[in-house]
Amino acid sequence: MYTNQTRRSCEIVEMFGKCVYLVLFLLNVSGFPQKNVAHEETEPQSYKLYSRADWGAKLSTDERPLKTPVPYVIIHHTAIPLACNTTEECMADMRSMQSYHQGLGWGDIGYNFCIGNDGSAYEGRGWRWIGIHAGKANSLSVGICLIGDWRVDEPPAAMLQTAKELIRDGIMRGVISPSYRLMGHGQVMSTECPGTRLLNEISTWNNYWPGQFDSSHHAHLVKEYSSIRLCECGGELLILAVAKCRHNNSAMLMLVLPVFSAIMLGVFAVPPPTLASIDPEENEVITYDFPFVSRAGWQARTPTKRAPLSVPVEYVVLHHSYTPAACSDRAGCARAMRSMQDFHMDDRGWCDVGYNFGVGGDGVAYEGRGWDTLGAHALHFNTVSLGICIIGDWTDSLPPAEQLKTVKALIEAGISQGYIKPDYKIVGHRQVRDTKCPGQALFEEIKTWPHYSKYPASPDDLVDMKLVKVAS
């Protein structure tokens, strides 16, 4: 009896140790647990949004990507007494504003979105591109124009409601920071816009900021993640580790949960990383000293969801594509990016191509999920790393020098923009997952790079891939 009890407590202690170890490991590599929302339906859009194609927009000649999430939402009016009442009138207004703004050399309509009296929204530059509507706030904001003159008249309730819905939607998409500041155009520049009546109205809304625009504010802003809905995107469920324990011994759960909660409290008590290292003026135009093609350039599909990546990251995980095979020109590499995206979205059911970037044999870096979106490329490692896919099969041969040079330049750009820690570690995919990726030849090559890191490099890394496999 005594012996049995002892053995039983030993088993419990052993199980306890294993579980804490697992939880610690997963926390170590995941940062915080992700909600499993793979089966969660996207909330129906509560307002009508007409796309650029719907209103007959001309092509934009000014597509500079907005660095998201932005800390500001700027509200405008058009100051033209007659607001549009029907879809046809609003679409005509959109076309004439675009012509006018293009005539000013702006390349496109200035606003990100406009809203008509009917409560419908009209896509201007949309969620992805920097607008021209509020001077130095352009690259830090989404600009929403309520079509009409709102100095004296009150905008219709449907129009105001849509403005609020649009902002909410922007937060859900990760484009607008949950701690955004809402302002009228006149708080950024000397203008009557958006009209006294409309300004009075928005001053009662959530997140209204009564002061002047302060371009240094961004430096104090913290990125917030907890209130943004995470997409599955290859994410892992931390709770799995606890579920495993419960399966084996229900008493274990009682032991693990308090520890688990304490750890979680600790995790959330740690402030999220700041953007202090990022200069806002730098994101006016992102230029790289190596060839770079944005998503539009390889005709990427729109992601179904996105989740922010906590930056700067500590790891860069290098992959090869295996298939598609190596590509050597723009058309071939763009095709390779599209085929990887199709595979990840259609066959794997992910919300986008898994990698943050692809690099082709043409020496061009192709934007995948980009710098600040959570990738799906390395189990348990997605939340702490950027994943770069070196397109091709590098089992027996090395990528062209130009391709590797661009990989290095891309990492340098990530450091200088504050997305990668200067003392980052490089690992090959095979070090964190049971896979041959990134190919034997390429793996031998990256072992010679200065930031290459053995993984696990120290007991702090707490990694035992056998345990991980048990958990997953």
* Contact stretch for Zn ion (CB under 5 A) within 105-113, 328-336, 364-372, 435-443: 435-443
**In this chain, which of 64, 67, 185, 218 binds Zn ion, going by CB under 5 A?**
185
CA distance 308 to 410: 20
Size, binding site for Zn ion by CB under 5 A: 6
3-state SS, residue 428? strand
CA 443 – CA 364 distance, rounded (Å): 21
188 is an interface residue for Zn ion by CB under 5 A: no
**Sequence-separated (6 or more) residues with CB below 8 Å from residue 7:** none
The stretch among 4-12, 29-37, 181-189, 347-355 that binds Zn ion (CB under 5 A) is 181-189
Give the interface segment with Zn ion, choosing from 76-84, 217-225, 255-263, 418-426 (CB under 5 A): 76-84
Q: Does 76 bind Zn ion (CB under 5 A)?
A: yes
Q: Which of 411, 437, 446, 463 binds Zn ion (CB under 5 A)?
A: 437
Rounded-to-integer distance, Cα 386 and Cα 375, Å: 7
Give the binding range for Zn ion (CB under 5 A) out of 78-86, 272-280, 395-403, 421-429.
Answer: 421-429
Stretch that binds Zn ion, among 105-113, 184-192, 227-235, 273-281 (CB under 5 A): 184-192
Q: Kindly tell me which of 295 and 429 has the beta carbon lying closer to Zn ion.
A: 429
**How big is the chain, counted in residues?**
472
Rounded to whole angstroms, the Cα distance separating 64 from 371 reads 15
Using CB under 5 A as the binding rule, whether residue 429 contacts Zn ion is answered as yes
Q: Does 344 bind Zn ion (CB under 5 A)?
A: no
Give φ, ψ of 443 to 5 degrees.
-65, -40
Nearest CB to Zn ion, comparing residues 23 and 427: 427
- Give the list of residues 6+ apart from residue 142 with CB closer than 8 angstroms, or none: 66, 70, 72, 73, 74, 112, 113, 127, 131, 167, 170, 175, 176
Specify burial of residue 260 (Cβ count, 10 A radius: 0-12, 13-18, 19+): buried
Using the rule CB under 5 A, is 52 a contact of Zn ion?
Answer: no
Binding positions for Zn ion, 291-330, rule CB under 5 A: 319
Strands (E), 78-134: 113-115, 121-123
Residue 193 lies near Zn ion (rule: CB under 5 A): yes
Nearest-approach distance from CB 437 to Zn ion, in angstroms: 3
Minimum distance, C-beta of residue 369 to Zn ion, in the bound complex (Å) = 15
Binding site for Zn ion (CB under 5 A): 76, 185, 193, 319, 429, 437
